[in-house]
Amino acid sequence: MIAVIQRVTEASVTIDQQVKGAINQGLLVLLGIASEDNEEDIEWLVKKIINLRIFGDEEGKMNLSLNDVAGDILLISQFTLHASTKKGNRPSYIKAAKPDVAIPIYEHFIKIMEKQLGKPIATGEFGADMKVRLLNDGPVTIMIDTKNKQ
């Protein structure tokens, strides 16, 4: 499972010209699910995202977590995070989980994130053509791969 996490002052996702989800201060999380991802990956990644200390404290140091600033999350599924560009110029997505595997994992990720965060999160729609807007704060962008925990 790969997550690209961006600290934002605002973010939204639009599908068919309708805003599906929007947040103010918080994190935009782009989530790529691989076929071998499991419950352990979900639990570890959710905890890591929620506890990342990437928000500024009173001295301006990145020392506060999402909970510390009462921030929100906008979660977007993005299979292209598993693109392989090793051969040729057309990316291969062979590592990305197929929808029958990825959708239940994505939905479970949402439930675990909401439970750990203690409030609902905003989301896109799995497989939809989405337009994502964000105002990256910093900018701060962090990538986490659950296969590289050590």
Annotation marks residue 109 as catalytic:
no
- Specify the pTM: 0.95
Annotation marks residue 146 as catalytic:
no
pLDDT per residue, tens digit, the chain (150 aa), is 999 999 999 999 999 999 999 999 999 999 999 999 999 999 999 999 999 999 999 999 999 999 999 999 999 999 999 999 988 899 999 899 999 999 999 999 999 999 999 999 999 999 999 999 999 999 999 999 999 876
For position 8, what pLDDT does the model report? Answer: 98
At position 62, the amino acid (one-letter code) is M
Q: What is the CATH number of the domain that holds 84?
A: 3.50.80.10
Tell me which residue range forms the domain holding 112: 2-148
What torsion, rounded to 10 degrees, do the Cα atoms 94, 134, 13, 147 define?
A: 30
For position 149, what pLDDT does the model report? Answer: 77
For position 88, what pLDDT does the model report? Answer: 87
Which of 6, 55, 79, 109 is labelled catalytic?
79
Cα separation, 138 vs 74, in Å, equals 18
Phi-psi region of 127 (alpha: psi -120 to 50; beta: other; left: phi over 0): left
Annotation marks residue 126 as catalytic:
no
For position 41, what pLDDT does the model report? Answer: 96
Which of 6, 78, 123, 146 is labelled catalytic?
78
As for how many domains the chain has, the answer is 1
Tokens of 44: 């570890």
Residue 105 is inside which H or E element, if any?
A: helix 99-117
